[in-house]
Amino acid sequence: MINVGIVGGTGYTGVELLRILAVHPEATVRCITSRSEAGMPVADMYPNLRGHFDLAFSEPDAAALAECDLVFFATPHGVAARMVPELMAAGVRVVDLSADFRIRDLDIWAKWYGMRHESPEWAAKAVYGLPEVAREQIREAQLVANPGCYPTAVQLGFLPLLEQGLVDVKRLIADAKSGASGAGRQGSVGMLHGEIGESFKAYGASGHRHLPEIRQGLASAAGSDVGVTFVPHLIPMVRGIEATLYAELNNPADFDRLQARYEARYRDEPFVDVMPFGSHPETRSVRGANHCRMAIHRQEHSHVVIVSSVIDNLVKGAAGQAVQNMNIMFGLRETSGLDAPALLP
Amino acid sequence: MINVGIVGGTGYTGVELLRILAVHPEATVRCITSRSEAGMPVADMYPNLRGHFDLAFSEPDAAALAECDLVFFATPHGVAARMVPELMAAGVRVVDLSADFRIRDLDIWAKWYGMRHESPEWAAKAVYGLPEVAREQIREAQLVANPGCYPTAVQLGFLPLLEQGLVDVKRLIADAKSGASGAGRQGSVGMLHGEIGESFKAYGASGHRHLPEIRQGLASAAGSDVGVTFVPHLIPMVRGIEATLYAELNNPADFDRLQARYEARYRDEPFVDVMPFGSHPETRSVRGANHCRMAIHRQEHSHVVIVSSVIDNLVKGAAGQAVQNMNIMFGLRETSGLDAPALLP
Amino acid sequence: MINVGIVGGTGYTGVELLRILAVHPEATVRCITSRSEAGMPVADMYPNLRGHFDLAFSEPDAAALAECDLVFFATPHGVAARMVPELMAAGVRVVDLSADFRIRDLDIWAKWYGMRHESPEWAAKAVYGLPEVAREQIREAQLVANPGCYPTAVQLGFLPLLEQGLVDVKRLIADAKSGASGAGRQGSVGMLHGEIGESFKAYGASGHRHLPEIRQGLASAAGSDVGVTFVPHLIPMVRGIEATLYAELNNPADFDRLQARYEARYRDEPFVDVMPFGSHPETRSVRGANHCRMAIHRQEHSHVVIVSSVIDNLVKGAAGQAVQNMNIMFGLRETSGLDAPALLP
Amino acid sequence: MINVGIVGGTGYTGVELLRILAVHPEATVRCITSRSEAGMPVADMYPNLRGHFDLAFSEPDAAALAECDLVFFATPHGVAARMVPELMAAGVRVVDLSADFRIRDLDIWAKWYGMRHESPEWAAKAVYGLPEVAREQIREAQLVANPGCYPTAVQLGFLPLLEQGLVDVKRLIADAKSGASGAGRQGSVGMLHGEIGESFKAYGASGHRHLPEIRQGLASAAGSDVGVTFVPHLIPMVRGIEATLYAELNNPADFDRLQARYEARYRDEPFVDVMPFGSHPETRSVRGANHCRMAIHRQEHSHVVIVSSVIDNLVKGAAGQAVQNMNIMFGLRETSGLDAPALLP
């Protein structure tokens, strides 16, 4: 049984970790910290957990965390960078769900996150935890940087095209849409139901923090710099991301084998589902589940490959992928705790 | 391993049975029938089931069903009444999620459902499957009538008051609200998103089919006829029922012990959660879970007990309760397959 | 042309006043104040007003307000009580959309609003602005207390029963439901889309600030104290209130003439629509409009009258009724600026 | 006063025409036809119209329609093509909201709409009614083909780029999203609230009927063939379209003057609002209004122009634009009946 700690458990990724770990057969949550809510039982904040956890939020305590086998960070950026070195020294393994260890170029990180990185040493050692790309490194990693939600949906959709050099890497477009839970659980006028309900908009269209992460991941897959335009949008719903991806085939004849190539690329992946050519994945088909479903489209007389990719932003886009990473790190069945189908309808 | 058959699996209760049974450790779905969709893989209709089931819908076939240990009916009313006798004769056990065997007075049934009942004999033998009331009879039953969604939320909320004779049984009011999945998956103008989205209304206020079922259940708990007014409403969301119940205490002094009485009544119930006095249960706290959560309120200078009771209409209000009944019938752990916390947010 | 001022215009009732007044043929908004947003053009905060208003928010300025013919207060409670006396002295007429002047018993007001009332003199002189009850007093009033949203829907639905002494006034129940805009536009975790979306709950079930206002209004209609239970609920949508009202007829034979009595009571009311017996009013049928639509129901063998009453909480429940009151106060056509049909779908 | 007829008034565009015309100072609806609902008062189907119209649906009757000054067709495709010639002969002017007269190449029309066009003569004479492009021809037209919803949002957003030859016309991408009312008011499983609520998906990604219309309009603006990829998506809300458009500048230096060029292009357009550079238009900012709001974005190191364009699909995307066209055709003030601000929140 793996002893798990969670730092910063009051947000949506925190409660989602608890929801998943509640039924994980091989992991137990030993402590969950929150400076602001210390003392409050988690089930008082999240009544879906009533009967599942007796645990209360506690003050962050390095000693208690050091006794865990694995610590998840579900904190605002900057916190993990500050706290991780001490845990590393204590031999604890960490999956960081924040953005602190995702970007390798710390100047870029500093620019987008508005602060100097406090742990450049571990930033260099961290493994970017997209299992479909880096499973072997994750297995050995002490520190895993769990990918962002949009970057997960976008990278998984583009990977086969880029790895196989099929498209013009300078002309990638990712039009992505997310439910409101992606913005977290901080009180703000802009995320009120009264502001978001029955409305739709783009946001961050001139530049969003997930852009450098996407660019880095796609460049790595392509083996060269890429030109990618990424525009996120806000959907009036709670969970789910859909990314519609556009790329130009270098050789239009490649269309014929595209579906087969996608299927081959992901044949052994337990959480990537390449649907039949021309399907339209719905976000609800992955609600609460760790799957990414995708499908390919082509319009007549066109060289443009269209890929529609969906995930649950809180699961494959956050807590589920974190547990998947934990499973890999500890040699467990990769789908352990992540077996249940999505909640549809 | 229990072999399970499902008759009429294309609706929301059908897919919900599949979702739950996909992870049930002691039951396997052997066949699922649909006259209209015979031949179609269930995962083609419900992509959340991709990777979980290879099964396809099949023509209803009495012989195949007779080989199951248990058959769930998730059919329009009238179908189970027609097909059940043959399965009973074959020794198969049945949980009927339709309304066919819920009402003991078949004249009342005929009036509300607009047809003559085709199996009066089994209507007399069926056990009304509310485990919190009839667990022992369910254990032995060959035919269980799974309660309706509204009746489940309303009965569980009122039971302690009626069983203990605390309130004026002639003045019960149940103001209930449901998400749209309660209306099933039939194409109709009235249930279009364009009609329901961003709007709220009462419906069936002059009389709804669940009224006689509620009346029967409450009368049984009270040991006498009851006067109950029941008004359902349609919420612009997919899943969830909230029922706000109003009753007049015979003796206002009983308020003091009411919370304790509710807690005592449901102490051993794995799926009923009496929240602290004055709580406000949210439907999302039971989304996808088999729980009924409830809380009691009192307003100053008032004899009126207010109970707010929430369930997921597709789980405790349909498929989850059906699996709970199966677990009881076959001597399994009652929560088997129903362990996961609700999906919140 | 009436010169209008608005104090506290950054919330939803503020923008709604602007939306309505933008097309009012006989009123012009001269100033709109907001301490926090002074200097910002209203159309920057509310892009639906682009092209309709050049106006910017300004610091509250008694002299500027004193030059208006009418000032609307759309402020948190306590503000109007403090500012109104000076405007009264200057001869300005005021419609206060806050709760400051709605409750005649200032001890009750103080208890529910948690502060001492700063203008008892004007609290005694204010007219409660429900035009269907007090049109003549409103016409002459210098200060009108615009009713709350729930109280409007509940009072209009109950009035004919109480005024005509048809029901047991000690046993009134109002089960009311509102969209999220009713909570205003303050950033709070509880009103985030991520908290409210796809969920439904009761709130304030042990006592809500609108309860004393409802009690006062119903008592006034009945000519005696009333016993009323009021439970509000939160609907996952933006606009709209539905109230389902329950009362016991003293004489069941009165059912026969009930529809006719409701129609007679509201025959000359431009904004109250008594729908055919047994209808189910939808909140969308009044979205953006100043109407209250209602319908009566009866269940078999029951003495209970059921009334379903719907309004748009921001229009008939706030800004629309305020403009209706302005129209009455200044002798304009009562429907001026309020002519457009609701937005459906 | 213009006498107006509406053919096919039971759908969402029909009721929206009625909503707008109810307050139009210079037009009166004389008849509204529906074969299936003949005899039913329009206010019985659409309660928001209670008190606004006494009109009932009538059987389509050529003689009655011939007495109108203008007839709107809000019918499924094929109907207007069949009925229009007779009205043309009678000298009636027509605005067709269906797709029958939008596509000039009737082979393309036949391919996408699955039938032979029944009125090639009038298809050749019809004016495509996008006022921002063809105001003068609309003024004189007897038959106006009202543009589709997606094509309106997409064309208005791209026009300045194409007319001025600023971008690579072979690489246009339009990622568009619509609320559910765009699918009309026909009962179908796929558009049930239970299917659409809390979910998001692309649809028609391999080819949608609006693609040829978009291609034709963009080619006309560019003066040459264009290569455009268009993917529509379904948003879980009722009204609103957002289109995010991507194009590559031929000369990146043009970015500097792009905002000014957009503003200049639309300076005199009453219904196109170019928001400040970097804004994010929300669909709610045009809900119920005839405006198209748009904003331009650029990401660092990129040649890609990003335009986000929003409309209400039932107003500027259908009924509102139809009334705008009527106003132009009859020499009325172009904004007549279309003055009210959008409903926000």
CA distances from A320 to A55, C220, D21 (A): 21, 58, 52
Q: Is A275 in Cβ contact with B19 (below 8 Å)?
A: no
Residues 101-130, chain C, touching D (beta carbon < 8 A)? none
**Residue B331 · residue B28 · CB < 8 Å:** no
Q: What is the mean pLDDT of residues B59-70?
A: 95
DSSP code string of D135-187: HHHHHH-SEEEPPPHHHHHHHHHHHHHHHTT-B-TTSEEEEEEE-GGGG-S--
Task: From chain A, pick out residues whose CB is under 8 angstroms from the CB of B23.
Answer: 339-341
Say which DSSP state C238 is in: S
* C99 contacts chain A (CB < 8 A): no
| pLDDT for residue A267 is more than 90 | yes
**Summary mean pLDDT of chain C:** 97
Angle at D42 between CA B193 and CA D26, to 5 degrees: 110
**Residue B334 C-alpha, separation from nearest chain A C-alpha, in angstroms:** 15
Q: What is the mean pLDDT of residues B327-344?
A: 98
Nearest CA in chain D to B46: D195
| pLDDT for residue A187 is more than 90 | no
Q: What is the mean pLDDT of residues C96-124?
A: 97
Give Rg (Cα) of chain C: 20
The answer to whether residue B68 is catalytic is no
- The domain locations on chain B are 2-125, 150-313
What does the pLDDT read at residue B328? 98
* C37 contacts chain A (CB < 8 A): no
- Structure ipTM: 0.98
Q: Mutating which of C16, C181, C193 best tests the A interface, going by the most A Cβ atoms within 10 A?
A: C193
Strands (E) in D192-341, as ranges, are: 201-202, 228-234, 241-248, 272-274, 292-297, 304-311
Task: From chain A, pick out residues whose CB is under 8 angstroms from the CB of D281.
Answer: 201-202
**Residue B248 · residue B303 · CB < 8 Å:** yes
**Residue B183 C-alpha, separation from nearest chain C C-alpha, in angstroms:** 16
Q: Mutating which of A111, A206, A258 best tests the D interface, going by the most D Cβ atoms within 10 A?
A: A206
Residues 6+ apart with CB under 8 A from D327: D333, D334, D335, D336, D337, D338
> Percentage of residues in chain C with pLDDT exceeding 70?
100
Q: Is A12 in Cβ contact with C194 (below 8 Å)?
A: yes
**Residue A320 · residue A338 · CB < 8 Å:** yes
* D202 contacts chain B (CB < 8 A): no
In whole angstroms, give the CA distance from residue D99 to residue B6. Answer: 44
Catalytic machinery residues of A:
149
**Residue D239 C-alpha, separation from nearest chain A C-alpha, in angstroms:** 8
Q: Which CATH fold would you assign to the domain B2-125? A: Rossmann fold (3.40.50)
The shortest CB-CB distance from A51 to any of B48, B51, B273 is to B273
Nearest CA in chain C to D199: C198
What does the pLDDT read at residue A9? 87
Give the CB-side neighbour count of residue D205, counting CA atoms within 13 A. Answer: 26
| pLDDT for residue B95 is more than 90 | yes
Place of tokens 């047991």: C168
**Residue A228 · residue A174 · CB < 8 Å:** yes
Write the single-letter amino acid at C106: L
Q: Quick one: which of C289, C274, C270, C273 has its CA closest to C344?
A: C289
* B345 contacts chain C (CB < 8 A): yes
Place of tokens 């195949």: B64
pLDDT digits (tens, 9 = 90+) for B193-208: 999 999 999 999 999 9
Instruction: Provide the pLDDT confidence category of residue B129 given band limits of 50, 70 and 90.
Output: very high
Q: Quick one: which of A3, A48, A13 has its CA closest to A34?
A: A13
Residues 6+ apart with CB under 8 A from D168: D247, D248, D250
Q: Is D233 in Cβ contact with A205 (below 8 Å)?
A: no
**Summary mean pLDDT of chain B:** 97
In whole angstroms, give the CA distance from residue D294 to residue D168. Answer: 20
Residue A291 DSSP SS3: coil
Chains that touch B (3 or more CB pairs under 8 A): A, C, D
Give Rg (Cα) of chain D: 20
> CB count, 10 Å around CB of A175?
27
> Percentage of residues in chain C with pLDDT exceeding 90?
98
The shortest CB-CB distance from B48 to any of A49, A275, A285 is to A285
What are the backbone angles phi and psi of residue B20, rounded to the nearest 5°? -75, -45
Whether the predicted model's global pTM rises above the 0.90 cut? yes
Residues 6+ apart with CB under 8 A from C277: C259, C295, C296, C297
Nearest CA in chain A to B314: A345
Residues 149-168, chain C, touching A (beta carbon < 8 A)? none
In whole angstroms, give the CA distance from residue D213 to residue D222. Answer: 14
* B278 contacts chain A (CB < 8 A): no
**Residue C238 · residue C259 · CB < 8 Å:** no
Nearest CA in chain B to A182: B345
CA distances from A27 to A53, A323, B216, C199 (A): 13, 10, 46, 30
CB pairs under 8 A between C and D: 92
CA distances from B200 to C76, C208, C309, D161 (A): 28, 21, 11, 44
B273's tokens: 């959660």
Task: From chain A, pick out residues whose CB is under 8 angstroms from the CB of C186.
Answer: 189
Nearest CA in chain B to A289: B48
Q: Is B191 in Cβ contact with D192 (below 8 Å)?
A: yes
Q: Quick one: which of D32, D283, B197, D48 has its CA closest to C340?
A: D48
Residues of chain D with pLDDT under 70: none
Sequence-separated contacts (24+) of B117-126 with Cβ below 8 Å: B117/B81, B118/B78, B118/B81, B118/B82, B119/B81, B119/B82, B119/B84, B119/B85, B121/B85, B122/B81, B122/B84, B122/B85, B122/B88, B123/B81, B126/B96, B126/B101
Q: What is the mean pLDDT of residues C284-306?
A: 97
Element (DSSP H or E) covering residue C186: none
User: CATH second-level architecture of D150-313?
Assistant: 2-Layer Sandwich (3.30)
Chains that touch C (3 or more CB pairs under 8 A): A, B, D
Nearest CA in chain C to A196: C193
Q: Is A239 in Cβ contact with B15 (below 8 Å)?
A: no
B54's tokens: 């290879």
pLDDT digits (tens, 9 = 90+) for A67-125: 999 999 999 999 999 999 999 999 999 999 999 999 999 999 999 999 999 999 999 99
What does the pLDDT read at residue C199? 98
> Percentage of residues in chain B with pLDDT exceeding 70?
100
Instruction: Provide the pLDDT confidence category of residue C19 given band limits of 50, 70 and 90.
Output: very high
* B335 contacts chain C (CB < 8 A): no
What are the backbone angles phi and psi of residue B107, rounded to the nearest 5°? -70, -45
Q: Is D284 in Cβ contact with C48 (below 8 Å)?
A: yes
Place of tokens 């053009």: C41
What does the pLDDT read at residue D187? 86
Q: Quick one: which of D157, D177, D152 has its CA closest to D275?
A: D157
The shortest CB-CB distance from B273 to any of A50, A314, A341 is to A50
pLDDT digits (tens, 9 = 90+) for C154-167: 999 999 999 999 99
Q: Is A171 in Cβ contact with D201 (below 8 Å)?
A: no
DSSP code string of A106-133: HHHHHHHHTS--S-HHHHHH-EE--HHH
Residues 205-244, chain D, touching A (beta carbon < 8 A)? 205-207, 211, 227, 229-231, 233, 235-240, 242, 244
CB pairs under 8 A between A and C: 73
| Cross-strand partners of C93 | C70
pLDDT digits (tens, 9 = 90+) for C178-214: 999 999 998 899 999 999 999 999 999 999 999 999 9
pLDDT digits (tens, 9 = 90+) for A33-62: 999 999 999 999 999 999 999 999 999 999
The CATH code that applies to domain C150-312 is 3.30.360.10
Q: What is the mean pLDDT of residues C14-33?
A: 97
Q: Is A308 in Cβ contact with D240 (below 8 Å)?
A: no
Query: Can you count the helices (H) and strands (E) in chain D?
Result: 12, 14
Task: From chain C, pick out residues whose CB is under 8 angstroms from the CB of A185.
Answer: 189, 192, 194-195
Q: What is the mean pLDDT of residues A235-242?
A: 98
What does the pLDDT read at residue B9? 87
**Residue B241 · residue C242 · CB < 8 Å:** no
